[in-house]
Amino acid sequence: MIKIALDAMGGDHAPKAIIEGAVQAAQNSGGRFEIVLTGPQGIIEAELKSLGYQGGGIEIHHAPEMVAMDDSPSTVLKSKPNSGLVSCVTLQKEGRVQASLSAGNSGAMMAACLMILGRVGAIPRPAIACVLPAFGRKIVMVDCGANVDEKAQALYHFGICGSIYAENILKINNPKVGLLNVGEEEKKGPEVLQEAFQLFKKSSLNFYGNIEGRDILHGTTDVVVAPGYVGNVVLKLMEGFFELAMKSFGPLLKTTDEGKNFLKEWDYSNVGGALLLGLKGTGIITHGRADAKVICNGLETAYQMVKEEVAKKISERLSAETVAPDKG
């Protein structure tokens, strides 16, 4: 049985929204997976009782310490090992669960996954992968903010991670990989992107070449590789566009088939979180303002990641890379 640990106290609307999302996921799972809620046992039990939930599929792991959104990652790891956030990752390291999910302090969750689970192969740090809408289908972009000063080989490794995710979760055969740049020409962009281009060009990946910002929405490639700071700007811009569209046209969008399709494709709460790829395990970080719907979808995403053995496949591929590792 696949088990997923969920930080019950992480996020702006914890614990109510988090536990409500867990209940929804347990009810929808059909016995495919179980959820371990980590946090103060009394608080979790009270929330489950208020929701009237008496079904199976949910366990509680008592973790009394609390993590604030502004706590430094190093402080959390050193001084709050019995917090819900750290515990949900530790349980995976111990083999008691197969995935970890938190809507709490994203820096602390990243640090916990990196330090407790570890990274695979020569990848310097895990990358954040996000699923994006692109003209009626989904694509994946990596990195979306975990790194800010990557070297060429790190970008190449991110492409491998994204390709494996696209193939196994998005079910895209031989996914096309594009390198986000300021132009399509091979010699465009900063030196690090030019070096990464050559690594992709020589690889066995289905490398399309450089793409520009508009190509993301056109779905020119199935995987978009970007430096972390660029990917994060793109991600936040797209989220802001959706929020603007909802504020400006929300009621109208709900009255037509086209509008409903737009909402289905663009509402990032349908995805459930950002994926940490390149770990010796499965870690998912979701919005601090996550509601029950986001948590429910995040748990489903975690289940699919474990079921399709994405982390294992990434590990095998990166471990087999023969290019000498760099340090950044």
Q: What is the pLDDT of residue 15?
A: 97
What mean pLDDT value characterizes the chain? Answer: 93
Give the tens place of pLDDT for each residue, 120-143: 877 888 899 999 999 889 999 999
CA distance 19 to 44: 7
Q: Which residue has the higher pLDDT, 2 or 147?
A: 2
Average pLDDT over residues 54-67: 94
Average pLDDT over residues 233-254: 92
pLDDT above 80 (res 327): no
Q: What is the pLDDT of residue 328?
A: 44
Q: Which residue has the higher pLDDT, 88 or 273?
A: 88
Give the tens place of pLDDT for each residue, 218-230: 999 999 999 999 9
pLDDT above 70 (res 325): no
CA distance 75 to 250: 42
First-residue to last-residue Cα distance in the chain: 37
Q: What is the pLDDT of residue 323?
A: 46
Q: What is the pLDDT of residue 30?
A: 93
Instruction: Give the pTM.
Output: 0.91
Average pLDDT over residues 145-149: 87
Q: What is the pLDDT of residue 326?
A: 44
Residue 273, CA atoms < 13 Å, CB-side half-sphere: 34
Q: Which residues lie across from 140 on neighbouring strands?
A: 131, 223
pLDDT above 50 (res 287): yes
Sheet holding 58-62, edge to edge: 58-62, 33-39, 2-7, 99-102, 283-285, 274-277, 127-134, 137-142, 223-225, 176-180, 206-211
Q: What is the pLDDT of residue 155?
A: 96
Q: What is the pLDDT of residue 124?
A: 80
Q: What is the pLDDT of residue 270?
A: 81
Q: How confident is residue 267, by pLDDT bands cut at 50, 70 and 90?
A: confident
